[in-house]
Amino acid sequence: MKKVIINEKQHGFLFRNGKYMGLLGPGKYLCAFGREIEVTENEFVFASGKCPLETLLADRAAANAAFVADIPDGKLGLLFRDGRYSSALMRGKYAFWNVVHRHELILTDIETPEIADDVPRRIYDILSLGGPVEKFTVSAYERGRLFFGGRFVRVLEPGTYYFWSKNVTGVEVTVENVDMRLTTASIVGQEILTQDKIPVRINFTCSYRIADCVKIQTEVGDYQAELHIASQLALRDYVGKYRLDEILDDKEGISKYVRDRLREKEGELYIKIEDAGVKDIIFPGEIRDIMNTVLVAEKRAQANVITRREEVASTRSLLNTAKLMDENETLYKLKELEYIERICENVGNINLCGGGDVLTQLLATLKGQSA
């Protein structure tokens, strides 16, 4: 005889000579020859290692203690244990102990990667943690291109999205995020000859946004390379028509011409040109030296003109002052006193004798000291 104890939260399956006989609850049992008790925890899975599930379920007592989940093709079973999500079940038949815990099942369609409304949204993040759901995030400055099995479905606005994974539906889900922010492209110009055969290089910048995030992928191979080529061709067309001096005098003309040419390509490239302009104009070393020499000469000539202009103005002012003093004796005396005051600031001592005109003596003394 063999004694078997079945504790609380346990059940036993009784077998006699290998044949299932019935379900045993908690307690102490004695097994005679040919009898065997398989003790199992009744926390979760309802199963036996000695007989198939169908044999157990044929017993009314066992069937009443079990929760059976039968998942057909094209469906996914979401199992909840005491109101909380427990696991996702693919097609097949499952049984769980329904004695200690209460189980519920939600059957949902998985024919397409779209998640049906009958799946509680509160468990999406749980399902995406290594489970049957994939999570995708589209930032505020992006748009997402959604593909099912390589076939474009729709554009996703900013937000968080969930879809059934490939191991559930057999369809691969991909989301390509497209940056819709303002982007600046720098176009480094190749060497271009002006009309007067002077080689120059022009660096150009262009600011643009993506206008159609779907067609820019399906209709254009590499829109950035196309934008670069279009800018270079427009620069080459403009520079070849004008002399170097004309180009330097009208840099905005280059910017406007290229900007207008690029805006003509907006529809083909599915972008919107916000602005474009010349950043640098680079010359060969010898041309740069010549231009620096010309610039220095121009500045010297301008300085000489300004100097001559100031000298003429000063002479004209002196002439006007002399005419006024010649015509007005009082003004002459005031001017004379002004200069005497300046001279006195540099003289140590002056001796004057009593009597006579003080101003006359002062002038005479100063003249004598200066002599």
Each residue's pLDDT tens digit, 288-319: 666 667 667 777 777 788 888 888 888 887 77
Write down the pLDDT at residue 76.
94
Segment 275-280 shows an average pLDDT of 88
Q: Answer yes or no: are the C-beta atoms of 101 and 82 closer than 8 Å.
A: yes
Q: Answer yes or no: are the C-beta atoms of 62 and 48 closer than 8 Å.
A: no
C-alpha–C-alpha distance, residues 362 and 345, integer Å? 14
Q: Answer yes or no: are the C-beta atoms of 110 and 169 closer than 8 Å.
A: yes
C-alpha–C-alpha distance, residues 165 and 148, integer Å? 11
Sign of torsion over alpha carbons 259, 262, 267, 271: negative
Structure tokens at 319: 């002439």
What are the angstrom distances between the C-alpha of 299 and each of 248, 289, 366? 18, 15, 46
Segment 157-176 shows an average pLDDT of 94
Lowest mean pLDDT among 98-102, 213-217, 287-291, 339-343: 287-291
Write down the pLDDT at residue 114.
94
- The pTM of the full predicted model, rounded to 2 decimals, is 0.68
C-alpha–C-alpha distance, residues 242 and 254, integer Å? 10
Q: What is the pLDDT of residues 35-51, one digit of tens each?
A: 899 999 888 899 999 99
Between residues 252 and 140, which one has the greater pLDDT?
A: 140
Answer whether residue 352 shows pLDDT above 60. Answer: no
Between residues 60 and 327, which one has the greater pLDDT?
A: 60
Cα angle: 227, vertex 229, 232; to 5 degrees: 110
User: What DSSP element (H or E) covers 81?
Assistant: strand 75-81
User: What would the DSSP string read from start to end of 12-33?
Assistant: EEEEETTEEEEEE-SEEEEE-T
Write down the pLDDT at residue 154.
94
Between residues 335 and 122, which one has the greater pLDDT?
A: 122
The percentage of residues in the chain with a pLDDT greater than 70, rounded to a whole number, is 86
Write down the pLDDT at residue 113.
95
Answer whether residue 344 shows pLDDT above 80. Answer: no
Q: Per mean pLDDT, which of 104-118, 240-254, 302-316 is the most reliable?
A: 104-118
Cα angle: 318, vertex 321, 324; to 5 degrees: 150
Which band of pLDDT confidence, cut at 50, 70 and 90, is reported for residue 370? low
Segment 119-148 shows an average pLDDT of 93
Structure tokens at 62: 């066992």
Q: Is 192 exposed, middle or buried (0-12, 13-18, 19+ CB in 10 A)?
A: middle
Write down the pLDDT at residue 165.
93
Ranges of H-type helices in the chain: 53-57, 60-64, 124-127, 166-169, 215-218, 223-239, 244-249, 251-263, 266-269, 285-327, 329-344, 358-370
10: helix, coil or strand? strand
Q: Answer yes or no: are the C-beta atoms of 76 and 105 closer than 8 Å.
A: no
Write down the pLDDT at residue 338.
72
Please, which residues bridge with residue 23 across strands? 13
C-alpha–C-alpha distance, residues 182 and 330, integer Å? 76
Q: Answer yes or no: are the C-beta atoms of 69 and 105 closer than 8 Å.
A: yes
What secondary structure letter does DSSP report for 122? Answer: G
Q: Answer yes or no: are the C-beta atoms of 239 and 177 closer than 8 Å.
A: no
